[in-house]
Structure formats: C-alpha cells, structure tokens
Structure 1
Amino acid sequence: MTKRTAAKYKIDRRMGENIWGRPKSPVNRREYGPGQHGQRRKGKLSDFGLQLRAKQKLKGYYGDLTEKQFRRIYAEAERVKGDTGENLIGLLERRLDAVVYRAKFVPTVFAARQFVNHGHVEVNGKKVNIPSYRVKEGDVISVRQKSKQLELVLVASQLPERDVPDYMAVDHSKMSCEFVRTPGLGDVPYPVAMEPNLVVEFYAKN
C-alpha cells in the first residue's frame, strides 16, 4: 500500500470535506481535522488560504499529485487557448488513472493509479502502464482480458455512490469505455465544489 493510499482519509479530514463522496470517509463522523490540534476553532481563511486550500483539494482529489506534477499540468493549461481553469480540469480528467476511476473499473483514484501501473489497462488495444498518460477524444480504454475477473474490478462497477459521467461511454459487460469528449468543470461529477479559478489566482500570485 502506498503512503498516499494510507493518507487518503487524512486528506478528507484536513480539508474538512468528503472530497471523493465515500460513505466511509471520517468526515461523515467528525468534521474536525486530524491530529491533536484538529479540534481547535478555525479562523477565517485569508484569500491566500482559500486559494491554497482550493489547490490542495483539487490536487488531493486526483490521488494527491505531487506539486511538481500539478504545476506542470497547470503550466500546460495556461499555454492552451481558452479559460485556464477549465483547461486545467480538462487535462486532469484526461489522465488515464482518472479515466479508469471515472469508468468505475476500480473503487478509488488511488487504486486506479496502481491498477494502471500494474499493467491491467489497454488504450486502443495496447497496454499502457503510465497513470499520467493523456487520453484523447475517441480513445477506447479497456481492462485487459486476464484482469476482468479481479475482485477489485467486479466490486467497483457495482458501487452505488458514483455515476459514470456522460463524456464517457462505458460498457461494463466488456469492461471498456470510450472517452467521448474533454469535459469542462460543470460536466465533472465532483462530490464537493472545486474552484479552479482560485487555483489560477494562486499560481498567478505565487
């Protein structure tokens, strides 16, 4: 188990929100943060604090990406024409691990990273084991034949708390999905409010 996987509940509690919408999240039971100072009253956050929190929440949601990885994706979003915040969401959703998670092939985004790493996924019929691989519109992502009966896969497809978004066409009988189009912020089924505009403000100033 990776360090990040072990820390996923800590991320929820640090943010004070159930960012993946999981029924087992500790935030459902106690809303204060982790550690001995977690129950202290929180002061009003400054603009910087709000921007930092928005960045940490978005970064955490996609498997607690490293700052270097996240900054690189942001820099790319900034270079592309259009709204930087929307571009950022589109690039994050095109990560292979995010697509595998959205398609409900695995139960968590952390499991998706490991699933891809271990060679269980194909893109257009070819094995791809890089979680950050950028999926293109029209690509077909599928679980490899020998991996379709893994308990993890069978359980994930039945999870009631998540729906597959409409920018993906998923066939769970074949364990494959087509990435139909790149989504904008309004298309992505985040369980909590994400604020990419604040992330843009954070990087603009820092």
Structure 2
Amino acid sequence: MSKRSSAKYKLDRRMGENIWGRPKSPVNKREYGPGQHGQRRKGKMSDFGIQLRAKQKLKGYYGDVTEKQFKKAYIEASRMKGDTGQNMIGLLERRLDAIVYRAKFAPTIWAARQLVSHGHIRVNGVKCNIASRRCAVGDVIELGSKAQEMALVIEAQSLAERDVPDYIGQDGNTKVSFVRVPSLDEVPYPVKMEPNLVVEFYSR
C-alpha cells in the first residue's frame, strides 16, 4: 500500500485552488503559493508546465494513487474506444476508494482508502481491502457493521459540502450501488479538471 509522503493540503497551496472543496483548506485564507516568494511567483507557465499542473491536480485529487497506477490508467484509457480523457476519468471513478468517498462513507479520499484497507467495506457481500479495485456497473458496496458506528463515517454522512452523485445509487445510509460509469461533466469536482491536458502530457 502506498503511503502519503506529504501533507495533503500542500497540493492546494501549490495549485492555488481548494481541490477537495474542504473548509479547512489553507487556500480559503491565502490563495498565493507556499514559501517566502509565494506571492511573487506569477511567471508565465510553459505548455509543459500547464500539462504537468493538470496531471498533478487530477492525480492528487484521488489521494494516494501512485504515478505508476495513474499512468497505467492513462494507457488503458488510450486503448479504449472514444475520448481518452473521458475514459480516464471513468476508470479513476471506478476505483473502490473513489466510490466509498463519493457515497459519503468517508469525509476525505484518504479516509475512504483507510476504510477499505482496514476491511470495513464489502463489495457484493464480500469483504474487500484493495482500495484500487475497479468496480463494475451493478456492483453493490456497503459498510461493514463496525464501520456503521464509527464517528468518522457518521461525520462524513452529515457533511453538507458535497452530495452523492447520480451515478451512485443509494440504498439507505450504509449501502450503495455503482449505477454507471460517469462522464467528466457528471463528476462533482470542486475545481475544474482538464483530463485532455493530462492526455497531452503523457502522449508527448
């Protein structure tokens, strides 16, 4: 299992955007970059820099996805029919930790990953602890009995900052189903994501 090597909100400061839409984000207080020169760092960015930034933002949004896993998703998306950027978003949203996060079983994507890796999530009635598992349309994801009483889960379900999207079908507070693979427009990103720039970055 990959481990987060830096503070999660560092990415917010670096990008100058509240990537997860969280009220605790430091960007809510100061939008300039980190460091003593953060306020002066406004130079024109190259095409490569713009593409790299889009890649880091999308990859960072999904938490502990490694570069190897992320590039693998791009390669797989490029082999599928249709738009590569849209396909890539579809593959990332099919990850089990992403679905747990979208279902509001966890307050953050990292908490969702932890819930899965600690064995609190069942897929089609079977315990699964692999956060990167790719779910299929129709799969039923539910919380284990211990997880239903966890303060973290109860807190997540009461969060007003985000809603459960249409492609996640709710069956009460503890069970959801993956209804369909979403398009980019359906995914409730708090900030603008540009998978087309990610595709350009990898296809150089």
TM over 0.5: yes
Cα distance between partner residues in 1 of 2:201 and 2:3:
27
**TM-score, length-scaled by structure 2:** 0.96
The structure-2 alpha-carbon separation of the partners of 1:166 and 1:5, relative to structure 1 and needing over 3 Å to count, comes to farther
Structure 1 residue identity aligned to 2:199: V
**SS where residue 178 of structure 1 aligns?**
strand
Cα distance between partner residues in 2 of 1:5 and 1:172:
36
Cα distance between partner residues in 2 of 1:74 and 1:104:
26
Corresponding residue for residue 180 of structure 2: 181
The structure-2 alpha-carbon separation of the partners of 1:138 and 1:3, relative to structure 1 and needing over 3 Å to count, comes to closer
**SS where residue 110 of structure 1 aligns?**
helix
**SS where residue 186 of structure 1 aligns?**
helix
Cα distance between partner residues in 2 of 1:136 and 1:10:
33
Cα distance between partner residues in 2 of 1:164 and 1:183:
13
Report percent identity of matched pairs. Answer: 70
Cα distance between partner residues in 1 of 2:202 and 2:8:
25
Q: How many pairs align?
A: 203
Cα distance between partner residues in 1 of 2:33 and 2:200:
25
CA deviation profile, 1:103-148 (whole Å, cap 9, x unmatched): 0000000111111000000000000000000000000000011221
| 1:5 and 1:110 in contact (8 A); partners too | no
**SS where residue 8 of structure 1 aligns?**
coil
After superposition, the CA RMSD in angstroms is 1.4
Corresponding residue for residue 198 of structure 2: 199
Cα distance between partner residues in 2 of 1:7 and 1:17:
15
Give 1:158 deviation, angstroms. Answer: 0.7
Cα distance between partner residues in 1 of 2:102 and 2:171:
13
Superposition map of 1:45-194 within 5 A: 45-173=45-173, 175-194=174-193
Q: Runs in 1 of length 4+ with deviation above 4 angstroms?
A: none
